[in-house]
Amino acid sequence: MDTQKYAAEAIGTFWLTFTGCGSAVIAAGFPQVGIGLVGVSLAFGLSVVTMAYAIGHVSGCHLNPAVTVGLAAGGRFPAGQILPYVIAQVVGAIVAAGVLYLIATGAPGFDLAKGFASNGYDAHSPGQYSLLAGFITEVVMTMMFLFIIMGATHGRAPAGFAPLAIGLALTLIHLVSIPVTNTSVNPARSTGPALFVGGWALAQLWLFWVAPLIGGALGGVLYRWLSEEPTGVVEGVRQA
C-alpha cells in the first residue's frame, strides 16, 4: 500500500540523514580517533546500502527528492507519486536532524555555528568554493548518481548488486565534493540540518534544492536515452 511506501521513505531518509550527518557532527573530528572525510563519505554510502536492502522492495529506496524526480524523468517512476515521496523524505530528514541535535547538544562545547553538517557555498563552503563551483558540482554529481542508479537497477544489470553500486557511488561523490559544498546531492538531507542552523544555512538552501533536482532530471533523461534500443535490434542481434 502507498502508506507503507511513504513510511519506508521517511524511515530510510531518517537513517541516511541521521547516520550520514551524524558521522560528520559527532565522529568526524573526534580527538585522536576521528573518522574524517573518508569516514563521513563511507557513512553516507553505507546508509544507502543498508536501507536499499531493507526497504528497496517496499518503496524502491529513493531517500532523496532528486532521485525521485530523476527516476520519473527516466521513465521509471510515476510523476503522480513525486510529491508524497518528497514530503515523506523531507519529514524523515527533519526528524533525523532533530534527534541528532538532541544527541549533539549533550556534549560540552557543542556549537551550531560550526555548521551542523549543513551545506553551503562561498564563506560556508568547507573549502571556500564559490556559488558557481557549488552549483556545477551539485548538478554533475547528482546527474551521475542518477545515471548509476538507473544503470544498476536496469533489468539487464547483475541481480542483487544494485545497492552496492549505488552506495559506493554515493561514497565516491562525497569523497570528491565534501570540500566544495559539504555534499548535498539530496535536498531532503540538506533541509533537515539547515532548519536547525537557520540564518545562512536557510538562505543558501535554495541551491541544494535547485541543483540536485536539475542534476537528477538530467541523469534520468540521459540514461533513458542511452539505454533505448535501436529499432529492430534486440540485445545486439539484428532481427530478420
Tens of pLDDT, residue by residue over 15-32, are 999 999 999 999 998 887
d(CA 91, CA 189): 10
Q: What is the number of domains present in the chain?
A: 1
Per this entry, what is the length of the chain? 240
Evaluate whether residue 106 is within a structural domain: no
Predicted confidence at residue 231, as pLDDT, reads 38
Q: What CATH number did the domain enclosing 150 receive?
A: 1.20.1080.10
- What is the predicted pLDDT for the residue at 195? 97
**C-alpha cell of residue 164:** 552496492
Query: Residue 238 is inside which H or E element, if any?
Result: strand 237-238
Contacts of 233 (CB under 8 A, 6+ apart): 239
Residue 240 has pLDDT above 50, yes or no: no
Q: Domain limits at 34?
A: 2-101+113-227
Does residue 173 belong to any structural domain of this protein? yes
In a domain, 237, yes or no: no
| pTM across the whole model | 0.92
Cα gap 74→86, rounded to integer Å: 17
Quickly state the pLDDT bin for 134 (edges 50, 70, 90): very high
Distance in angstroms (rounded) separating the CA atoms of residues 14 and 95: 7
Q: Residue 230 above 70 pLDDT?
A: no
Residue 236 counted as domain residue: no
**Residue 240 belongs to some domain of the structure:** no
